[in-house]
Amino acid sequence: MSPERVVVNPMPAILQNKPYRVGRSSTGLGLFATKPIKKGAKIIRYFGPLLDSKKKKDDAIENKYLFELNGRWTIDGSIRENVARYINHACKPNAESDVKPRKRKVFIRAIKDIGPGEEINYDYGTDYFKAYLKPIGCKCEACEKKRKKKRAEARADRLRLKEKAERKAQKKAEKLAEAKKQAREELQGKPQEKALQAKAKKTKTLNGKANGRHPNGDGRPTPADDMPAGAEARIAEPATLDAPRRDGTAIAL
């Protein structure tokens, strides 16, 4: 340890009677409750060497476990004895950091009841979030739920669009099939229609002749219809100049 770094009240390693343990988390290692922890209870202290920002050597130290107390003093919590460094960030945490700058101490305190087996977490703050979490994506439970919800919504949207496209395609196919059916019926009906028209015309002509109507269908009688019986013979055989009359004399023309 360099003379510039001062350890304030170092905390011993975790004891068996403590209400927490280090365990596997979704983000690696985390701190989990082993006993019920009441809201407002002090859980653990975050500790380590104090770094003085006025000293270039201390100010040059960079790691993920630096906890800033004020503009000058920062706790370097990267030491192994600092079990609190295993507490992960959460956007909706069940604990918070209780900072006491004058005493140069930080405690993690429960802000809600925490049951056995639950992971203990607190909000690391905006600066840490922007520097370390935002670039890779926050993996806390709240953010994972948001991402899961967005993925589910995206899947639902894709499914709706797919179903809409399928309905549209089916409707189009049905419309095309109906148009083809109508076209086939029209093609099949034309020969029959022509045959029926021809049959009707023939029947009309035959009926007109049977009723004594003019073949053209205008109902006018033919010249033969107006002649009395025997007139046809007289027209066909005209009288000769020397045809005798009934009284025996010749007809003079």
pLDDT of residue 244 exceeding 60, the answer is: no
**Strand 49-52 relative to strand 6-7: parallel, antiparallel, unpaired?**
antiparallel
pLDDT of residue 230: 55
Question: Under the phi-then-psi rule, with left for phi > 0, alpha for psi from -120 to 50, and beta for the rest, what region is 219?
Answer: left
In terms of pLDDT, which residue wins out, 196 or 54? 54
Give pTM, 2 decimals: 0.57
Contacts 24+ apart (CB under 8 A), 131-140: 132/64, 133/89, 138/89, 138/91, 139/26, 139/27, 140/27, 140/88, 140/89, 140/90, 140/91, 140/92
pLDDT digits (tens, 9 = 90+) for 102-133: 999 999 999 999 999 999 999 998 888 888 88
* Lowest-pLDDT range of 4-8, 118-122, 237-241: 4-8
| pLDDT band at residue 5 under the 50/70/90 scheme | very low
| pLDDT band at residue 36 under the 50/70/90 scheme | very high
| pLDDT band at residue 210 under the 50/70/90 scheme | low
45/85 Cα distance (integer angstroms): 10
pLDDT of residue 14 exceeding 50, the answer is: no
Q: For the chain, which residues make up each domain, given as ranges? A: 6-136, 140-198
Q: Find the mean pLDDT for residues 166-176.
A: 91
Segments in the chain forming alpha helices (H): 56-59, 126-128, 141-210, 223-226, 231-236
pLDDT > 90: what percent of the chain? 44
202/200 Cα distance (integer angstroms): 5
Mean pLDDT of the chain: 81
Q: Find the mean pLDDT for residues 121-148.
A: 88
In terms of pLDDT, which residue wins out, 198 or 67? 67
Mapping DSSP to helix (H, G, I), strand (E, B) and coil, where does residue 50 land? Answer: strand
- CATH fourth-level superfamily of 6-136: SET domain (2.170.270.10)
The dihedral of CA 14, 15, 17, 23: what is its sign?
positive
pLDDT of residue 228 exceeding 80, the answer is: no
Q: Find the mean pLDDT for residues 72-86.
A: 95
pLDDT of residue 253: 46
pLDDT of residue 188: 77
